[in-house]
Structure 1
Amino acid sequence: QWNILSDYFLCFLPEKQPVQIRENKRYESIKIVLSSSLSKVKFNFVLYLCENIFDRFLTFFQREEPLIHLLYHELNDLYRNVLLSFLKSDSVQQKSGQDLLNINFEQSALWISDKEIKIGRFDCERTRKLMSSLNFDEKKSFYQDVRKIYITIANYLKKNLLLNNMLLRDLQVLDHSSRTDQSSGDRIIRIARTIPNLLDDREIDKLENEWALYLVELVDRSWYIKDEYIDSNGNIQITHVASFLPAASQLRALRSMHRSCA
């Protein structure tokens, strides 16, 4: 798209419509941007942010299947990926929730160097090649802007993502992989008690007993494995069912939660 726009505004218009663009302030502004190598680098960085940081998160939750139990994990991953784009990995590690929120990302001691910061598509190579056309001051200005952008994004996510929300954290128990978690019983009961008008006391007691039975039962693989096959490299590939619940009362609970969140 950049090459098409450049060809149109910098070649076609001056040659075919010189009168229309003469002393046209809007055209001059566009010409300055398209003639600047720094502008191309900046646009490429914005494209990188969209494709590699935000697109997956946004498209992932556009699916029709129940995904509420994955939201907390994905929120943590989103925030963690942003931080890892400009911070040292040992300051982020596998932290989640409040531990992630406690990271002081404006502290320069935690920053990675300019050469390491994530700035472009295709493993950053395209943007780095484009930067060879920039002079020292332009490169310095660009990296300063990149850090400001990352810090601004991190501040926004820190303020708005519910990384310390107990309910979202507990809802992970609805994933089949949480079946072996020793705290799963406490978490499913907290969910039932937290959401208003979801279950009465008798149903909560029943849910607690059913969950205890579910933890020791042998669950058929078809409940949580949607597809299983061997790929061209001989590796086993497994697609899991988004979520499953073992008893009727829990199914009612999940449907009610989805209605509450709708």
Structure 2
Amino acid sequence: MYMDAIRNKKLPNPGTASYDTLEVAEKDPLILAKLHFYMAITRTFSPFLTFYQKDVPVIPFLAKDLAEMMKSMLRRFVKKEGFKDMSSLQLVRLDVSDKQSWVNLKEVNMGLGAESLLKVML
């Protein structure tokens, strides 16, 4: 309603970057799928971030947990054979720009919400 009021000149355009972002997002037909994808990514990061916001010493677990989180993120886009048995150092040096290591576009794990929305749209 706010965006419509600005378009109909009932309210002045605030001229802020936030408003411009909302205006672009409103015109994007894939915005809901993108937001669901971001939510799926957030679900991967949230437990990690929550665990490391404690007042007890958890630093000894950081390297292993960070490597597991990175593998979890990479599984969405990179073929599993490429990094399955890699050490943390090898994982950091992984060349993700190599198109041969990418999964097929239809196999990218973007989360159930985004996949459901895209199926309805197509």
TM range (shorter): 0.7 to 0.9
Unaligned runs of 5+ in 1: 1-7, 135-262
The residue correspondences of 1:13-92 to structure 2 (distance < 5 A) are: 13-14=4-5, 18-21=8-11, 24=13, 30-52=22-44, 54-92=45-83
Higher RCO structure, 1 or 2 (CA under 8 Å, sep 6+): 2
User: Normalised by the size of structure 1, how large is the TM-score?
Assistant: 0.39
| Distance in structure 2 (CA, Å) of the matches to 1:33 and 1:109 | 32
Separation (CA, whole Å) in 2 of partners of 1:83 and 1:67: 24
TM norm structure 2: 0.75
Give the drift of 1:9. Answer: 4.1
Q: CA deviation at 1:98?
A: 1.9
* C-alpha displacement of 1:96: 2.0
- Which runs of 5 or more residues in structure 2 are unaligned? none
Deviation at 1:33, TM superposition (A): 2.3
How far does residue 90 in structure 1 lie from its aligned partner after superposition?
Answer: 0.9
The answer as to whether partners of 1:34 and 1:40 remain within 8 angstroms in 2 is no
User: Which amino acid in 2 is paired with 1:130?
Assistant: L
Q: How does 1:176-255 map to 2 (within 5 A)?
A: none
Q: CA RMSD in A?
A: 2.7
Q: CA distance change for structure 1 residues 114 and 19 in 2, over 3 Å: closer, same or farther?
A: same
Identity of paired residues, percent?
Answer: 21
User: Aligned residue for 2:113?
Assistant: 126
Given that residues 33 and 113 in structure 2 are in contact (C-alpha distance below 8 angstroms), is that contact kept between their aligned partners in structure 1? no
- Judged with a 3 Å threshold, the aligned counterparts in structure 2 of structure 1 residues 28 and 87 are, in CA distance, closer, same or farther, namely closer
For 1:125, the aligned partner's letter is L
